[in-house]
Amino acid sequence: MYLSPTIANCLKQSAQLAEISDSPRLDIEILLTHILQKNRTYLFTWPEQELNVEQAKVFNEFFARRLTGEPVAHIIGQREFWSLPLMVNNSTLIPRPDTELLVEAALGLFGEDEGNQSRRLLDLGTGSGAIVLALAHEKKSWQCVGVDKELAAVELAEKNRMQLNVHNVNIQQSDWFSALSSEASFDVIVSNPPYIDLNDEHLKEGDVRFEPLSALIADNNGLADLEFIIAHAPQYLTANGWLLVEHSYDQGSAVRDLFATNNFDHVNTLRDFGGNERVTLGRKIS
């Protein structure tokens, strides 16, 4: 039976996504708002509105891609993070809501007066630039650097910086600290590095199937990059500078031990929206 391409009928197709998506209706809503250039309220207010021929064609193409499991963010080329619209592609991770905890924690390191003072911040493995751009957007007085070893990621992060008109960020190519001056001193270092074990079954599920493995997996049960960052960060931190890292839900204890054995105190682990240990931070012992 033919169904006219109304908003309501498009939304009904979300049932076909139930097996591959945790949020099938939201997926369709996001596709429609992108195609129609309207907000979600419009979808609820005008459910009988028909898509024109070109819009219907694009919707069918997008829907077919989503049926294969391709992430919505890749389909529309955009993902919102910390209320900022970021361009995304398959060269980097798609920013996750849980990573906003890292941004929130960094912003909470200093009191209101202290936080508005000039600070230097480094984001290791910046990817799309989500973390460093969110922090720089909030703290205009901070001078921020985002590095990534992948040129495609550097180019994407720079495009996002320019699109968002953020001026207090420098994006550059570097394999962790390798391209930074040995005299570089940062008040805050943040990182969401690869931390998934190569044999983790979740690598075969959901959006991660479409993301670069280099941004996901690490040796030593997912701890290798975290070990490297935590061991070398003190060399690049100011006295009493802070390091904050995101990690897997089951790595909290191991990461706290790494902080404790690498010249950090005030070590603390924060839990994400699901109640899982997700971000650990510590202050360099001066």
Where does residue 173 rank: exposed (0-12), middle (13-18), buried (19+ CB within 10 A)?
middle
pLDDT band at 166, cuts 50/70/90? Answer: very high
How many C-beta neighbours within 10 Å does residue 153 have? 26
For residue 2, pLDDT over 70 is answered with: no
- The DSSP-derived string for 185-212 is -EEEEEE----B-TT-GGGGSGGGGGS-
Residue 187 · residue 241 · CB < 8 Å: yes
- Confidence at residue 184, expressed as pLDDT on a 0 to 100 scale: 72
Nearest of 155, 147, 151, 229 to residue 194 by alpha carbon: 229
Mean per-residue pLDDT of the chain? 89
φ and ψ of 6, to 5 deg = -85, 165
Q: Tell me the mean pLDDT in the region 214-223.
A: 78
Residue 98: HSE in the Cβ half-sphere, 13 Å Cα cutoff:
17
pTM: 0.87
What is the bridge-based pairing of β-strands 84-87 and 264-271?
Answer: unpaired
According to CATH, the topology of domain 81-284 is Rossmann fold (3.40.50)
* pLDDT (tens digit per residue) in 110-163: 876 565 688 999 999 999 999 999 999 999 999 999 999 999 999 999 999 999
* pLDDT (tens digit per residue) in 254-271: 999 999 999 999 999 999
- Confidence at residue 161, expressed as pLDDT on a 0 to 100 scale: 97
Sheet with 143-148, side-by-side order of all strands: 169-173, 143-148, 120-124, 186-191, 237-246, 277-284, 264-271
Tokens found for residue 234: 């003190």
Rounding to the nearest 10 degrees, give the CA dihedral for residues 231, 236, 239, 245.
-60
State what percent of residues in the chain have pLDDT above 90.
61
CA distance 114 to 133: 20
For residue 285, pLDDT over 70 is answered with: yes
Where does residue 220 rank: exposed (0-12), middle (13-18), buried (19+ CB within 10 A)?
exposed
pLDDT band at 1, cuts 50/70/90? Answer: very low
Nearest of 146, 159, 144 to residue 107 by alpha carbon: 144
Residue type, 281: L
State what percent of residues in the chain have pLDDT above 70.
92
CA distance 126 to 138: 17
CA distance 11 to 43: 9
- Confidence at residue 47, expressed as pLDDT on a 0 to 100 scale: 87
Q: Where are the domains of the chain?
A: 7-69, 81-284
For residue 237, give the 3-state DSSP assignment: strand
Tracing tokens 């955009």 back to the chain, one arrives at 78
| CATH class of the domain whose range is 7-69 | mainly alpha
pLDDT band at 207, cuts 50/70/90? Answer: low
